[in-house]
Amino acid sequence: AMEKQDPSFNVSRKTNKNWSTMIALDKVGDQLDPSVLYSFSLIPFAVAGAVNGDKGPGSAKWFCQLGFGTEKKFHTVDELKAYLKVVDKTIPYVREQEMPGVSSGNLINFVSDEELEKAIHRKCFHIAKSIQCSKSLNSIADASR
């Protein structure tokens, strides 16, 4: 719409090859030490974090966002488990004495079989679309005054 109102206003759209799906780290409850997040520096990317748990801000529900270069569909729990075992091998080595409870090869241990079953039915979302405008809306508003 802005392109029709102002001929100098241009919009460019880009799409990158980034897709993701989420899994809940449901076996850890709200007891996971936040320092475990350092172990998720992966390629392909994985982002771990938490949202408020059932008891509000004092509790947590942990999750992991797994990234892919294309749309990914896991057809069986065993297929997803095999992928997570590969991911575990890419987690940077963390010495147990530096971060108790955090070590390479433990992502699969944070996820129940029930959650893995749910995860194979989740849609993998395309997350890398961007729009860039040649002007900000503020500059357009200022020019019209």
Share of the chain above pLDDT 70, in %: 67
Structure tokens at 105: 């090869």
Gyration radius (Cα) of the chain, Å: 21
Specify the pLDDT at position 33: 63
Strands (E), 37-97: 46-53, 56-68
Residue 28 CB-half CA count within 13 A: 27
Confidence of residue 60 (pLDDT cuts 50, 70, 90): confident
Specify the pLDDT at position 109: 79
Distance CA 136, CA 9 (A): 9
Specify the pLDDT at position 115: 95
Rounded mean pLDDT, 42-47: 60
Rounded mean pLDDT, 69-77: 93
Residues 6+ apart with CB under 8 A from 48: 25, 36, 37, 40, 62, 63, 64, 65
Specify the pLDDT at position 72: 92
| Residue whose C-alpha is closest to residue 103's, from 90, 91, 85 | 91
- Cα separation values, 5 from 47, 111, 145, Å: 40, 52, 15
Confidence of residue 123 (pLDDT cuts 50, 70, 90): very high
Specify the pLDDT at position 44: 58
3-class SS at 87? helix
Higher pLDDT, 105 or 80: 80
Confidence of residue 136 (pLDDT cuts 50, 70, 90): low
Contact present, 93 and 104 (Cβ < 8 Å): yes
| Residue 133, pLDDT above cutoff 50 | yes
